[in-house]
Amino acid sequence: MTIFPSLHGTVEVPRISITERLFQGLAPRADAVAMIDGPTGREVTAGALMEGIQRLAGGLTERDILPGGTVALLAPNIPEYAVVFHGVAWGGGTVTTLNPTYTAPEIQHQLQDAGASVLVTIPMFEEVARAGMAGTGVRHLIVIGGGGEGSLSLEDVMGAPLTAQAPVDLDAHIVVLPYSSGTTGRPKGVMLTHANLVANLTQSGAVAGITPSDTAVAFLPFFHIYGMTVLMNLFLAQQARLVTMPRFDLEQFLGLIQTHKATRLYIVPPVALALAKHPLVDRFDLSSVEEIFSGAAPLGPETEAAVGARFGAVSVQGYGMTEMSPISHMTVGGNVRHGSSGQAVPSTECRIVDPATGRDLGPGEEGELWVRGPQVMKGYLNNLDATAETLVEGGWLRTGDLAVIDAEGFMSIRDRLKELIKFKGFAVAPAEVEAALIAHPGIVDAAVIGRPSEEAGEEPVAFVVRAPDAEVDAPALQAHCEGCLAHYKHPAEYRFVDSVPKSASGKILRRELRDAIKAEMD
């Protein structure tokens, strides 16, 4: 067995709850502003945040919802998100976070699967929340700011402060139940414990370099593990400041960076493309930005370098999965390798395994990335088969991603294992073709999928988004690909579209594109 250990050693993970870890970052600065609601400028101090968390935990305990209950949270990025999340955690409950773009049937499925008894939302989502509650075990609807008849306001639920963490088994109690993106099937509840989350904050905090002088604009949704861990939890735990954005808007994002002098940007590849190419960027003073961190999907080295150069900042990538709380890799100390997701965080081990033979591979060889560490999930809720497929003997998590690790421990994602296109027996990685297409100055986004072909088995089809005013056509893109890709990687067809479908975390929804192709062929 060939194991790649973290070159950053190990860390000692404190035996405390996730909210106790958060309070370590809030208590020393009780009078300082910890969170700002971006659109309104409303400020919340660290002390007020702690008080809200403890009062909500007390109120939910008085109503016999906690400890032990599951609370669903359907809300955008607002300061109250942290109050609800940690109020439930402090009171010994479980939070299941819902995607605000979900339809009523999707909400209903998650509420039923998670066993939620309470749903917390905002007035804007109250109608769909009520529809999604139908036929579930939800007994209470709590609306932040107040809602319609039969609901409670968040203030109504506040009680006497619960001044100590409700007793929980740190290794067994499920503190949060986010649902995986569903791009590989129906969403599955990922069981993460207090120990998982605290481990990942400790691992990433040891190398991320976040300090009390840092500010970030948080548009990455808190319901998703990337925004939840890296921004809502890690940033506050490191005594830094968060400016929340309920939804992403490029002009507003740039304005908030300028107004609040944000030092760190946490983004996804679609935003990286905009920051690298959009003319709006030049209208703002963004000189405060020191580091730009992209995650959730691979970012081509050209775009990564371009966005860093445009901002005069360090541009880096990281890697993770909901199932790993989420971080396993990140760029450390400015040691940048464009196109790489960085090195394993402390206390993390990796293997590269040949998916065809199960044989361990060495440095520079491409195979499936397997990861082991204290951040790895307990399993999938109510899904033993999926858990057994993902968590294998020895505590290893199979990521389903094809990767390469070099002799210095730098890991680069090649593609999703199941997204590979087989063209006449040759494996074509969509991410590689997409990066090549996006490198063309007339293209701002691209997605590549395989289309069934009698002659080739599968052939690549590219969906591309032109830059504003660009006149690039298919022959021009073909000529471009001939200069940078082997022939078998060239798309058989280029389709010009207005946008590429993506999940909230920035992953391309290839299934939607495949379904569209299939419908045409049927």
| Burial grade of 72 (CB within 10 A; 0-12, 13-18, 19 or more) | buried
Determine the pLDDT at residue 183: 42
Closest CA to 220 of 247, 197, 194: 247
CA–chain centroid gap for 296, Å, is 5
pLDDT for position 35: 99
Confidence (pLDDT) at 185: 55
Give pTM, 2 decimals.
0.86
- In the 8-state DSSP scheme, what is residue 426? E
Strand, helix or coil at 466? strand
- Residue 186: what pLDDT? 66
**Tokens encoding 23:** 């309070």
Ramachandran region of residue 288, left (φ > 0), alpha (ψ -120 to 50) or beta?
Answer: alpha
Cis (ω within 30 of 0) for the bond into 67? yes
pLDDT in tens, 86-118: 999 999 999 999 989 888 988 999 999 999 999
* Number of Cβ atoms within 10 Å of the Cβ of 283: 12
Q: What is the 3-state secondary structure (H, E, C) of 378-422?
A: CEECCCHHHHHHHEECCCEEEEEEEEEECCCCCEEEEEEHHHCEE
Q: Are 140 and 121 in contact (CB under 8 A)?
A: no
Question: Which 3 state secondary structure label does DSSP give 52?
Answer: helix
Residues of the chain with pLDDT under 70: 181-186, 425
Distant-in-sequence, close-in-space partners of 104: CB < 8 Å, separation ≥ 6: 128, 131, 132, 134
Q: What pLDDT is stored for residue 182 in this prediction?
A: 41
Contacts of 387 (CB under 8 A, 6+ apart): 379, 380
Map out the domains of the chain with their CATH numbers.
17-169 (3.40.50.980), 198-416 (3.40.50.12780), 420-521 (3.30.300.30)
Question: Running DSSP on this structure, what letter comes out for residue 246?
Answer: S
The secondary structure of 268-305 as a DSSP string is -HHHHHHHHH-GGGGGS--TT--EEEE-SS---HHHHH
| C-beta separation of 49 from 82 below 8 A | yes
Could you give the angle at the alpha carbon of 96 between the alpha carbons of 166 and 59, nearest 5°? 40
What pLDDT does 443 receive?
A: 97
Tokens standing for 365? 């060889």
Please report the pLDDT score of residue 501 as a whole number: 95
Any idea which residue has 């939804």 for tokens? 247
- Tell me what pLDDT residue 181 has: 55
Q: Which two tokens stand for residue 158?
A: 């506040």
Contact 287, 314 (CB under 8 A): no
Secondary structure (3-state) at 441: coil
